[in-house]
Structure 1
């Protein structure tokens, strides 16, 4: 053991010295503030998708192939903000970006509207479809701030477009400062070919240039040159990304690769003596006098060791580190819990979570579910609040823990609860989420009327739209489709602005797009389960749509999916009750009485019919979540809902009631 301990001690000491020696270089580089990234293909670890954008096979799609005359608008944003201005040195950065895109359409007569590369202080920028290119809100034209290069494929007189094939520089408006026709250099934006584009901005020269080519070779002549000073608009940090839109067309906008770099900030060492111009640009190393050949020999030997020594120890250190990390992983995660985790969520220590929840005290419980209890955690050191989900000590709990962790860690959407981290210590399985100030939807909907805040109509509409957006993302925009399987009011959280955040992925399952789902044991909550799911135990996106429809009816009616009649013993199903009123021409009477009529009657009717359409017993008649979102946004006509509720019959029963997991939260 002694030699082994000595060897470990030796490597530990050398590792410390080695890392200390090179930590200055890493620190200086990290504080340079120049940014560089390169994505030969895309993953959800690096970008956030908004609107209709999606990721498939490493390629970003900004708009979807929809039936004319539908509309589509999507945005993709690089996750990390980019610093464009340094207050300390009063320097605005220069930048260069390169990306490859294609614009195509199965119907050449319906082209429009185009895409744009943008820089904005807002990482949630998502404008209207059509000529607004997903950059500008049609009702608030001056709301969004941005610097963008547009690649426009339709003439829009509102923005003084010169033609239907032009490139332009836009600043806070789609009225371009200057435009150019790429056709003059043989580039047709609507050719469907892959177009490689370079955008260079030199702050010292105050000039922006756009180059385009069908090959990967950068041409000498730019398509567009604009003499412009962007220092007024590139303030502090900005987000970079792409947006695109269509209106009454099916134009597809794809981004296949992307690289970006900013440059021009002074090195950290330069900022220490900004008054010394010569020192800020060049660091000189004085020549050492060499007295004789012996010194020269020693110098060569020292140089040899200086190069070979660190290289040798780097290799040894890498091997030693690999073995140590592998051993550590085995101890930490355990034999049955090895899983690949993305770099986003971090691992919390059990000690920190135990302290933050006061030892998981009952007074800190926010909610209870099939997975376990959820606790409010207050971290004194940072002053932050989080929600900690603590699993039950069972094999099922561990399985759900790993399922939820592997799924939600890869998902990024503004209407999903954000996973902050996890912990697997002392036999505990813990997930840490961002804290939702307004709790769960069911708690707000069904609270006593004299307590809390009434969920007003505008909030209810916002919740329904947000949930539809989240499910559209899960079903159609992820690289792998996610079927949630447990959509219900208690799993929908509300942030400080009453925006819906879908959570609890313990029952979710991943599957490849366009493949039949695997039959699984029925799981979920009675009242939200689709008839075919109860019968066959097969979860599909249409079973999620059914559950969504029930939630929509809850939000509109203020009633639970299954309720006992007043002064009676009979249980009433919400879908049946609303459908009965609809058959009698009295559907508006289903509206939540607590609203006191403070809603638009046509909007209420539209929402109730949407709920019935989604909760249709016949799964083939239910709309997709994409269609639901279009309907809510006024971009599609409502589906026909029959006056009488369709009835279905099944030949055999495949599951007993014991197979159904019910959680009445």
Structure 2
């Protein structure tokens, strides 16, 4: 008997350790559901309040309760993350949540901006006050990651809101993927009545549904139904909560109750082993009593322990290995998810892009650029369209490709052409963008075969471009200088909203740092005089290019045109400034509009264009100031009657004759694309000492 004890004594600690580890693994599984019928002081043990959020009378208030208008932001977060993805079965959970909320204001004329229900990998999600719904920071719109259902109570044109009250699905951006009007089901989001919302996501159907009702009965039909796969955004553990914000209002946001559950997959457990005597599924029958001697009893016991010992040891090793591998896989999944967040756009295969563009067939060409050709691609499996930019096989093409990919992949704004992905394969450099159905601004603006852009579209284009340039110049972590703003690089979506594209010449700069001299790049006709002289691109050189584009939009004329009467080259800036000096600037308005525009708004747009195209860079406004003027938050600019002249003491980088000759060659190439580039000598009219 004593001879069989040492193996058992050696194995018992290991068995205890294995069982303890297995038990800990099971205990780590988070609860898949919770419920708050109301909110009490005890609820604070299971909730995290951020910003201006507070608890009062069984309700959670998300924004300040004040009698005077203010800007406020608050969030409430369930502090324990829930498991949404099982790497062992490669399954994403479905989920369902129900909550009751109300939006009201002590001042019936002071409302804005709304609240959201969100899912986020961050448990400290708190955005800026104002029109940001408490989800994102005003200076870093792309920092926070989330899936959110917004219950918006104010129309914000910066995020493409369709109207006042609306419900929308947002993913990592406040520009909703899809929206719905609650008034269609008789719901007023801000009348102060309690509204119950149900949000269901069914992973097997790849569908998200939102229901609203004034009662506790769930409607038969959803208000919002979105066909979408959320699995790329639900990687393992995710935090849940609500956020809200106000922008100079007294709007109050209350959460009255909340329940949540996940379903659709069961976390895998370690499999039982047939030789594990602790397995409760083993049936032990009483043995038949047979007399036996003491020596035979000891032999049988020793044999049994000799067999059971290694079996226990193997079972323990298997359990320990299973736990270790599972934890390693979770770590790898988290790393993979972080890498996916960092890279953003996905990598396409060359075969996929070649098939979608019919082998880059000439019939799919959308346009040509300095560094490559753009093709239309159709992906049959998803029914979606995209634009594929195929860079030239050259050193410049590679440089442009890397610049565009590294810069635009980190940017997100509703007036930017969104990058979907990229491909570096078979010696090809390919960038995949959202497809813009209405093409480039220059082709629409100068297409004689179709009706002219109406005034509302033109105003929207001017404001949209000002908004995105404000974002690039002042709201990104690093300032982005585009360097090639022109009508052919402004694309129009299905609703003629402007999208700025082609970041191949763009440069990143630290804020408040002096620019360095570079080789002059861009398109003649849009380049600022000081950029041509010193080769230093700044935000003011972008402002100059914007001014030229705005004058084109208002006048319907190119930067440089040949006069039909005397065949002389006419400078657009000089022509508009001449009319301004005569007090007849409104005569510059595009005649194809037939006078169907607001005269004062047109006058303001022309003055803003001249102010931006001022030869003196110090006199040009910032893009933020331009945006404020266009949306009537600042007075129109004061533009001198006579166009200022400049005098440079240094010689130009190139002789004017060389620039004119070079521009003439570029002009011949660009006329095929409908993009006439202006000679520098005609555009700038600068005096060289």
Q: Residue 265 of structure 1 is aligned with which of 262, 265, 287?
A: 262
Native 8 Å contact 2:415 2:498 kept in 1:
yes
Native 8 Å contact 2:492 2:498 kept in 1:
yes
Q: Secondary structure at the match of 2:428?
A: coil
CA positional deviation for 1:268: 3.1
The equivalent residue for 1:353 is 353
Native 8 Å contact 2:98 2:198 kept in 1:
no
The equivalent residue for 1:210 is none
1:569 and 1:638 map into 2 onto residues whose CA distance is: 35
Note the alpha carbon deviations across 1:264-297, whole angstroms, 9 max, x for none.
2335359xxxxxxxxxxxxxx8544589645653
Q: Secondary structure at the match of 1:268?
A: coil
Tell me whether 1:245 sits opposite 2:247 in the alignment: yes
The equivalent residue for 1:459 is 457
CA positional deviation for 1:521: 1.1
Q: Secondary structure at the match of 2:465?
A: helix
Note the alpha carbon deviations across 1:230-251, whole angstroms, 9 max, x for none.
978997779976544249xxxx
**Measured at CA, do residues 91 and 417 of structure 1 come closer, stay the same or move farther in structure 2, by a change above 3 Å?**
closer
TM-score of the pair, normalised by structure 1: 0.60
Q: Residue 304 of structure 1 is aligned with which of 303, 306, 316?
A: 316
The equivalent residue for 1:581 is 579
| Unaligned segments of structure 1, at least 5 residues | 1-24, 35-70, 104-111, 148-170, 179-200, 204-226, 248-260, 271-284, 326-338
1:440 and 1:501 map into 2 onto residues whose CA distance is: 9
The equivalent residue for 2:593 is 595
CA positional deviation for 1:313: 6.9
Native 8 Å contact 1:401 1:429 kept in 2:
yes
**Measured at CA, do residues 398 and 115 of structure 1 come closer, stay the same or move farther in structure 2, by a change above 3 Å?**
closer
Cα RMSD (Å): 4.9
Q: Residue 572 of structure 1 is aligned with which of 561, 566, 570?
A: 570
Q: Secondary structure at the match of 1:572?
A: strand
CA positional deviation for 1:500: 0.2
The equivalent residue for 1:410 is 410
**Measured at CA, do residues 114 and 531 of structure 1 come closer, stay the same or move farther in structure 2, by a change above 3 Å?**
closer
TM-score of the pair, normalised by structure 2: 0.58
**Measured at CA, do residues 123 and 496 of structure 1 come closer, stay the same or move farther in structure 2, by a change above 3 Å?**
farther
Q: Secondary structure at the match of 1:533?
A: helix
Q: Residue 514 of structure 2 is aligned with which of 516, 532, 538?
A: 516
The equivalent residue for 2:98 is 92
Q: Secondary structure at the match of 1:264?
A: strand
The equivalent residue for 2:203 is none
The equivalent residue for 2:441 is 441
Native 8 Å contact 2:93 2:265 kept in 1:
no
**Measured at CA, do residues 121 and 453 of structure 1 come closer, stay the same or move farther in structure 2, by a change above 3 Å?**
farther
| Unaligned segments of structure 2, at least 5 residues | 1-24, 35-69, 78-82, 85-91, 101-116, 136-146, 171-186, 200-213, 231-240, 250-257, 268-278, 286-303, 676-689
CA positional deviation for 1:528: 0.6
2:500 and 2:330 map into 1 onto residues whose CA distance is: 42
Taking the TM superposition and a 5 Å limit, the aligned residue runs for 1:139-538 are 141-143=164-166, 173=189, 243-246=245-248, 263-268=260-265, 286-288=280-282, 293=305, 296-310=308-322, 342-448=342-448, 451-538=449-536
The equivalent residue for 1:652 is 650
CA positional deviation for 1:616: 0.9
Native 8 Å contact 1:561 1:574 kept in 2:
yes
Native 8 Å contact 1:93 1:265 kept in 2:
no
CA positional deviation for 1:479: 1.1
**Measured at CA, do residues 535 and 546 of structure 1 come closer, stay the same or move farther in structure 2, by a change above 3 Å?**
same
The equivalent residue for 2:624 is 626
Larger Rg, first or second structure (1 or 2) = 2
Native 8 Å contact 1:486 1:525 kept in 2:
yes
2:475 and 2:547 map into 1 onto residues whose CA distance is: 20
CA positional deviation for 1:632: 1.1
2:151 and 2:414 map into 1 onto residues whose CA distance is: 11
The equivalent residue for 2:540 is 542
Native 8 Å contact 2:390 2:431 kept in 1:
yes
